[in-house]
Chain A
Amino acid sequence: MTHSYTILVLEDERPLATVIKDKLEKSGFEVVTARSVKQALEYVSEIPQIDLIWLDHYLLGEEDGLDFVVELKKSESPWKHVPIFVVSNTASEDKVHSYLHLGATKYYAKTEHRLDTIVDNLRVFLENKE
């Protein structure tokens, strides 16, 4: 068995976090969940290997997903190259543009996609990356 990927899931809504984690684990991924940018950044520094970040836009605390991306994409950061999948329900067109512009890999609107579809795409992406 190939080594399992570790996904960091940033989602502040508990029910959603649970179902996402569940699905990902059932699909063979290691999952770490965080509810705020602060928490996420801590995990990022603590955990040795994060293969992909599943990012929602609205999070607990002052900072949102965009702030997180900015932080992560700073030139000196070692996690600059971790791919980010933004999975959010936010309606704004420019937010999408902003994420992609800042370096997010993909954007999904939650309500437009089945969970298994996103998970499958995720896997395909990671495997192609190898």
Chain B
Amino acid sequence: MTKISIYTKFGFILGFFMIIAVANFIVISYSQGTQKTDAAIIDTAGRQRMFSQQLAFYAERIVRGHTASKVTLKKVITLYQDSLTVLKNGGVAPEIFGNRTIPPTVSSILPVVQRVEMLWREYKTNAEIIIREPTSTNGVENELVSTALAYIEQNAPEMLLRNNELVVAYVQMNDAKQSQMNVILLVLLIVDVAVFGLGAWLILLITKKGEVEKAHTEEMANDLVKFKLAVNYSYDHIVITDAEGIILYANQAVQRITGFPLEEMMGKKVGNSELWGGQMPEVFYQELWKRIKHEKKAFIGQINNRRKNGETYHAQVTISPVLDNSGEVEFFVGIERDLTERLKYEEQLRMFNRAVESSTDGVLISLPDTTVIYINPTWERLTGYSRNEVVGKKADMLKSGEMSQEEHKRLWVSLNAKETYKSETFVNRRKDGTTYNTELAIYPVVVRDKTEFYVVLQEDITKRIEIDRAKTEFVSIASHQLRTPLSAVNWYAEMILAGDVGKVTGMQKKYLQEIYSGNQRMVALVNALLNVSHIDLGTLAIEPQPTNINFLIADVQKELQPLIKARRVKVHATFEEKMPKAPLDPKLIRIVFQNLISNAVKYTPPGGVISIVTELQKDGVLFSISDTGYGIPAQQQNKIFTKLFRADNIRGKDANGTGLGLYIVKSIVNLSGGKVWFTSTENKGTTFYVTIPFTGMTKKVGTKGLT
């Protein structure tokens, strides 16, 4: 289309120019056609005739040829023409057309020259007189020429162009003809301009129209490309069939979803089992066909199809008939959406919904402004409020008022920082006024740095507390039951040994000592077991206080002085001067030092040295204790922190231990966020290290501390 319009444009331009050119040519030719080519010279008959013939001949040639000469000669010719006229009038009858020449006389030449002069002065630029020296010695001729020349020299010397050539000529402007020609030329010019203007305008119009058309078709072409791309890359399966259901076009998604390559499906009938169809009962396809083909209406529904690999899938389908002008079906456009993903998500959603609905924790979901959007049945049960009473309202309403101010503040500080908040145990009030113990955990759901929801989990810990209490009570009773007979044996043995019930002989004393010390070991073991059971049961209470471990260690050292003295070992302590206070439970941490220091003392032979060091580290405190004792055998080192383990090399030695101390130490150190480890060489010594971070221990409401 574009190409044709270019040619059309070009043709138009060309045509217009040609028209103009031709018109100009015609008009100019016409104006020229009226020019006469006759000439006359003032000369004797014979030469006159020859000259005029020559002149005419040349004139004609020149008129046909060279423009400049033509112009000049035109004038020359009219000159002669006029001369004939004047000569005729001045006594000599001019003959304009033909070859007749009239010999001028001396008296008639002057008016001719004067007339020439006059006309020259009037139309200066148009007049030209060529005066040529005559070649003959004819007296009349010479006289004519010299008279003319004399007159010109006297009156209009500027008329002379060349001195030595004299041909008296004559000019008569054909005024009418000239002005006529002027008019014609002017008209021609106007017509030229008008026609040119019209032509240009028409060309512009056509160009514009052509461009508009071109733009329009380009636009249409682009739109079509766009639509084609849109259809081709649509996520949904789009198939175009003819009125019989033969596939004419299928987009990329069809291949992706059905697994069949596009080439395989062209020309095949859609809906048959050769491709992805044929999974539905026959009646389904009949109904479908009836609707789209005979009723010519769109079919919207769901269908089961089968992929090339045999996998069946569920799809949402819309098949629309496209009708031609006569209302007959021309095409069918079928769009299918694979619902597999969606069904999967729905299933997952149902699963999560069920999980939340049946959770034994109360679940509440709210918007950032605490407006409740969901609570699960457990929450309803715990608080006594039903869904209807709570959803849509602000969650603060549910606060029983038993949460302290600082706790409330802590809650909002965490939530505003988009952090999880875990509450302490507090008492909540139900709708009916009864109270129960609970703990809350609030999780902000943050999307792109903005809190979208709060998920609140509430745990009814009444039962948990009851269980903990029961556990503790059991441990307490068990410990009491265990300790009672131990106390009895202790004190009875003590009294006998003290001689309170009679004299005791040497052997008896010895044996009684064994009973007594055996019993002491039992007591230590029971104490350790009880501690371990509390640690394991998680019923351990932790009450952090700002604690300086240097003081604790010094205190423990003092407490162990009897043992240190008895073992005859030296204990040096180097304390970090600038020891800060860390939030630690002093009772628990004390046990760590008690165990480690007494171990070092117990397992170092007399004369040995024990060094204790505390130092500050980047984010915590390092405690180390080195001894020159028995060490821990290499192959047993990995069991050192396990319950009831005692290494072989110290079993035989004169030192007692429960095998539980290090387990307890490790548990307590872990609870404070620190680490414990050691290095040891058998028979050389052992060094234990403990790090405790400044962040210390978190408060735990337990039912018991350690013994």
Contacts and interface: CB of A to CB of B under 8 A. Distances in A.
A114 B500 CA distance: 14
20 contacts: A13-B484, A15-B492, A16-B487, A19-B488, A19-B495, A23-B491, A88-B480, A89-B483, A90-B476, A90-B479, A92-B472, A93-B587, A93-B705, A110-B487, A111-B526, A114-B491, A114-B494, A115-B491, A115-B495, A116-B498
Given A16-B491, A115-B494, A89 B484 contact: yes
A91 B490 contact: no
A111 B488 contact: no
A92 B500 contact: no
B488 A109 contact: no
B541 A116 contact: no
B184 interface: no
Interface string B690-703: 00000000000001
Contacts of A57: 480
A91 B480 contact: yes
A67 interface: no
A99 interface: no
Nearest to B530: A91
A19 B490 CA distance: 10
Contacts of A129: none
A111 B527 contact: yes
Contacts of B335: none
A91 B532 CA distance: 13
B298 interface: no
A23 B495 contact: yes
A26 B500 contact: yes
A23 B488 contact: no
B704 interface: yes
Interface in A33-53: none
Contacts of B703: 92, 94
A13 B488 contact: yes
Interface in B17-38: none
Interface of A: 13, 15-16, 19-20, 22-23, 26, 57-58, 88-94, 109-112, 114-116
B484 A19 contact: no
Nearest to B531: A91
Top 4 A-B pairs, shortest CB-CB distance: A93-B705, A89-B483, A110-B487, A91-B479
A93 to B, nearest CB: 4
Contact of B707 (A22, A109, A115): A109
A18 B488 CA distance: 10
B486 interface: yes
Nearest to B524: A111
Given A16-B487, A89-B479, A91-B479, 4 more contacts: A13-B488, A19-B495, A22-B501, A89-B484
B83 to A, nearest CB: 156
Interface string B491-508: 110110010110000000
B488 A15 contact: yes
Contact of A93 (B483, B500, B704): B704
B476 A91 contact: yes
Contacts of B486: 111
B523 interface: yes
Contact of A111 (B472, B490, B495, B541): B490
Interface of B: 472, 475-476, 479-480, 483-484, 486-488, 490-492, 494-495, 498, 500-501, 523, 526-527, 530, 541, 587, 703-705, 707
A23 B587 CA distance: 32
A60 to B, nearest CB: 14
Contacts of B494: 114-116
A57 B479 CA distance: 13
Contacts of A15: 488, 492
A63 to B, nearest CB: 16
A15 B487 CA distance: 10
A116 B488 CA distance: 13
A16 B484 contact: yes
B707 A20 contact: no
B476 A92 contact: yes
A127 B472 CA distance: 39
B507 to A, nearest CB: 23
B39 to A, nearest CB: 153
B299 to A, nearest CB: 76
A20 B492 CA distance: 9
Contacts of A116: 494, 498
Nearest to B487: A110
Contacts of B587: 93
A57 B492 CA distance: 21
Contacts of B500: 22-23, 26
Contacts of A112: 523
A90 B491 contact: no
A23 B156 CA distance: 179
Given A19-B488, A26-B500, A110 B483 contact: yes
B525 to A, nearest CB: 11
Nearest to B522: A111
A111 B498 contact: no
A92 B707 CA distance: 8
A20 B491 contact: yes
A110 B494 CA distance: 13
A14 B480 CA distance: 15
A20 B501 CA distance: 13
Nearest to A13: B484
A110 B476 CA distance: 14
B488 A90 contact: no
Contacts of A13: 484, 488
A26 B476 CA distance: 32
A15 B80 CA distance: 179
Contacts of A89: 479-480, 483-484, 487
A111 B530 contact: no
A94 B705 CA distance: 8
A20 B488 CA distance: 9
B458 to A, nearest CB: 27
A122 to B, nearest CB: 14
A94 B541 CA distance: 10
B325 to A, nearest CB: 95
